Structure 1
Amino acid sequence: MPKLTFAMNVTVDGYIAAPGDDLGWSGGEGPDSSPGDELFQWWSDRVAATGLSLYGRKLWEEMSSHWPTADEQPGATPAVIEFARRWRDMPKVVFSSTIDQVGWNTRLVTGDAVTEITRLKAADAGPMDVGGATLAAAAMRAGLIDEYVLVTHPVLVGGGTPFFAALDSWVNLCLVETRTFPGGVVLTRYETR
């Protein structure tokens, strides 16, 4: 069965977005913004290695508003061009009952997310990533996430959208990787036991 990973940028106090869905603390998009090239390349390589990416509506709208044409923008660096192409080519599923159209190698699912994620895991679609707080929370509560990757930025935002959902029971984790990036960003990767 393929591994389902929840990987996101997160603040030290545990948020993937500050109040008002503000992502400014994460360094923006592209390798020219803090924390820099090394972390941006790590995210790009992750996209290249992902067999299927599962998106909630909000994260889909954020990503699809920028990356489909990022490589065509004036001044696009080779790293941005590479990421944009990888992102467009990566198979994606968007879970939403409020949008009716998706593009860029993407399929829309309007039904029950947990049922569909369970089906996709059984179909062995390769390594899968799940992104977006609401979708990831549903997968967390259903016990479908096999790996958590927190890319922790050295900032406190005091509130917003939490990385972890409220759970009905404990989930024991095993630390399998740590890595430090420039700017004090720390990656920690945990597998479920």
Structure 2
Amino acid sequence: MRKLIFGMNVSRDGYIAAPGDDLGWSVPSEELFQWWSDRVGATDLALYGRRLWETMSSHWPTADQQPDATPAEVEYARRWRDMPKVVFSSTIRTVDWNARLVTGDAVTEITRLKAEDGGAMDIGGATLTAAAIRAGLIDEYVLATAPVLLGGGTPFFTALDRWVNLNLLETRTFPGGVVLTRYETRR
């Protein structure tokens, strides 16, 4: 059975994007960027909601071809392209870059994917992840908490129907005061 992991950069007050989907506050240090890149390299399958897919697929497929691309960005772009991806959307008609599209019930498909043999799956996208959290499908949460207060935006955690108890797995501090915490869901 596969493990499903939800990880994102998050503001100290719990948002993954500021109002207007502004992500300018979450530019990672080189060390944190490498940590995220290594996570992509270790991910067997990535699950994306529509908006996050549109953000990622508008940049990473060709990011390594930009004249100012750093070696770390080149590596991340290659890893991102190579990683199998599933995009959940009822409005997109086609996807590319080693991805397949699911237009049906996300919780049913994620449950099916978790039951398969294979390595870890990452999930991203606020709406998609909220459905997975409410269905009790998330096995691990990874928060890279930046020392910034946004006061609003897209929350990391959705409103829950019931408590989710967690066990701390790891803490780590990165340059710029970013604190990474990893938790597993206590079952």
**TM above 0.5:** yes
Which runs of structure 2 are paired with 1:62-141 in the superposition (5 Å)? 62-141=55-134
Residue by residue over 1:83-113, the C-alpha shift from the partner in whole angstroms, topping out at 9 and shown as x without a partner, is 0000000000000001111111000000000
Distance in 1 of aligned mates of 2:71 and 2:97: 20
Q: 1:152: how far off?
A: 0.4
1:20 aligns with 2:25: no
Per-residue CA distance 1:137-179 (angstroms, 9 max, x = gap): 0000000000000010110000010000111111100001000
1:30 aligns with: none
SS in 2 for 1:143: coil
Structure 1: unaligned runs, 5 residues or longer = 28-34
Identity of aligned residues (%): 81
1:66-91: CA deviation from partner (whole Å, max 9, x where unpaired): 00000001121111110000000000
Determine helix, strand or coil for the equivalent of 1:171: coil
Q: 35, 39, 43: which is aligned to 1:50?
A: 43
Q: Does 2:166 correspond to 1:173?
A: yes
Tell me by how many angstroms 1:124 deviates: 2.3
**Aligned-residue RMSD, C-alpha:** 0.7
Q: Residue 5 of structure 2 corresponds to which residue in structure 1? A: 5
Distance apart, 1:43 and its partner CA: 0.5
Q: Deviations over 1:107-138 (max 9, x none)?
A: 00000000000000011232000001000000
Residue from 172, 181, 190 that aligns with 2:183: 190
Aligned residues: 186
2: CA distance between counterparts of 1:47 and 1:116? 21
One-letter amino acid matched to 2:15: Y
Q: In structure 2, what is the Cα distance between the partners aligned to 1:121 and 1:13? A: 30
Matched AA of 2:138: I
AA partner of residue 15 (structure 1): Y
Quick check: 119-128 or 177-186, which moved more? 119-128
Cα distance in 2 for partners of 1:126, 1:3 equals: 7
Question: Secondary structure of the residue that 1:183 maps to in structure 2?
Answer: helix
Cα distance in 2, alignment partners of residues 157 and 170 from structure 1: 25
> What TM-score does the superposition give when structure 2 sets the normalisation length?
0.98
What is the TM-score when the length of structure 1 is the normalising length?
Answer: 0.95
Cα distance, 1:57 vs. partner? 0.4
4+ residue runs over 2 A deviation: none
Q: Take 2:54 and 2:163, find their aligned partners in 1: how far apart are those partners?
A: 32
